[in-house]
Chains A and B, each alone.
Chain A
């Protein structure tokens, strides 16, 4: 039976398959799978942008080229720099609130292949607009980036990708921590929880976002 030791256990194989191509954000305790659509949704100030910038920071520092499709021109490079993003490795596409252009821009980027992260930022767009986007777009993206190193990140107030996303997290801000007394206060931290919408039985991940002035 000794020769059987050469064969990997089924659980080990499954583990390898599951975690082979992941970007792990250790400070947050979350891992995103490459070659898939990942969605972060949540109410305003839930930490969607902060979490995405952490991901961009990790990848751009290692020399990967990432892209931001800024649907509503809401991207703040100052926050990106504070989060540690190497802006010289970042392609910024401003779409000025034109949803159709945003989706076409994302399509061009997906076709280019080789981007670390393509971030489609849908914050600031109305749900009525987002509701008009054909679901086929998401499946198109999913098919295009399958088996590539690209991670397609979507952020919006409400979930939009449906079953096309492999991972979908619902973020909510549990508490905002302020320091100081009376009129002299300073925003310090957000306490944010991440609930996976694809694994119903898992515990939510609680993380802290720090205000960096």
Chain B
């Protein structure tokens, strides 16, 4: 059985790369993407499709079917196929005759510019012209490196394919005999599916940090979930819990008729952490705990505190999309303890006695007492163009009680919190 290589060269190879790979996958599993297209092994397709010309036409027809511009060629070596395809990259054409190859210009070959100029001055411009010259003469003049050029034009190329198109995902599907309303009933099935799926992922030497889960529902709609972690893992129980939590937060609206899970490949995580690494929860355990907490107190109430670079009365937020990183500071130093502030939610309404423009007495639902010391007034305002806010604040010490932040707004006096 002779060896056959096919090449598709596309004018928009970067844009159409995925589509070209999909077309090539219909003919072969041995693929290699090149700068301007794709090469693939079609050896053995003579029995299924026919002659090389018929194979070429079949590939070209597939390209036309997918509205892909490009040129196809099939030849016995990859270099020949590439040269032929590049020769006519503009249209959806097929060419693989020996005569066509012999008429190709030398400029398509990897020959140095100086050598090409010399050959052009000698009126040697086509492969056919070069084939007429004795090999020894050419090698003697241009060195042993020229043997590679001779191999290409004599179609003796022996270069193998370097498969550089790899699968980046694996999937598992299951259609149910009868629709299921409660997702809990599918857990055992999903467990089995994840086992199969992760076997495939592990077999390819990868791990995963991204699963796409899709349910087909009885009302012919689909419910999709994208589940991502910040670390790769193939721990089945962990993923199963994560899926369960996610589906519990946003259940499918109808009965489930089919399940599809796609695992996106990623590099596996190194198993060993540093000898002196600080104590922190295992990533799986941390993520599961965060999800359990979100289920308990609400999605928006669990996360990492983040300061906002804005002029706001409370310039911070809770970023629910983040989980703690556990990053170490190189310049760690112990700071002297500073007075912290603690908010009252909601602020405590207060009645304040002011005498001679001085705060004298405060009465709230929690306590009342004389104001012994205070500082302020601290005025702040911003966002006059949008949601305007304006505050007047004092730090007050109440006799026999604590130190508080007092605020005056249009609604009256209130305590925002205490210094603790």
Binding site for B on A (CB under 8 A): 25-28, 43-51, 53-54, 57-58, 61-66, 72-84, 86-98, 101, 104-105, 108-109, 111-116, 123-124, 149, 173, 176, 178, 180, 183-187, 189-190, 207-212
Contact = CB atoms under 8 A, between A and B. Distances in A.
A180 B376 CA distance: 12
Q: Provide the main secondary structure of the chain A interface.
A: mixed
Given A79-B341, A187-B339, A211-B339, A64 B296 contact: no
A65 B326 contact: yes
Q: Provide the main secondary structure of the chain B interface.
A: mixed
A94 B318 contact: yes
B338 A210 contact: yes
Given A50-B338, A114-B279, A115-B281, A77 B345 contact: no
Contacts of A44: 401-402, 404, 418, 420
Nearest to A57: B335
Contacts of B301: 93-96
The 6 tightest CB contacts between A and B, nearest first, are A45-B402, A44-B402, A63-B328, A114-B281, A77-B305, A61-B332
Given A95-B301, A176-B403, 9 more contacts: A26-B334, A45-B401, A48-B420, A50-B338, A54-B334, A97-B345, A112-B285, A112-B286, A112-B288
Interface centre among B282, B292, B325, B337 (most CB of A within 10 A): B337
Contact of B337 (A54, A97, A109, A112): A54
B139 interface: no
A92 B280 CA distance: 16
Contact of B328 (A43, A62, A74, A77): A62
A3 B70 CA distance: 88
Contacts, number: 238
Contacts of B111: none
B324 A65 contact: yes
A77 B306 contact: yes
Q: Chain B: interface residue count, which band?
A: 35 or more
Given A96-B297, A108-B289, A53 B340 contact: yes
Contacts of A185: 373-375
Interface string B344-383: 1100000000000110000000000000011100000000
A95 B324 contact: no
A91 B339 contact: no
A91 B323 contact: yes
Nearest to B328: A63
Nearest to A50: B340
B343 interface: yes
9 contacts: A44-B418, A53-B338, A65-B324, A90-B324, A95-B297, A108-B293, A116-B279, A173-B403, A184-B375
A105 B296 contact: yes
Interface in B296-337: 296-297, 301-307, 315-316, 318, 322-329, 332-337
B293 to A, nearest CB: 6
B419 interface: yes
Contacts of A47: 337, 339, 420
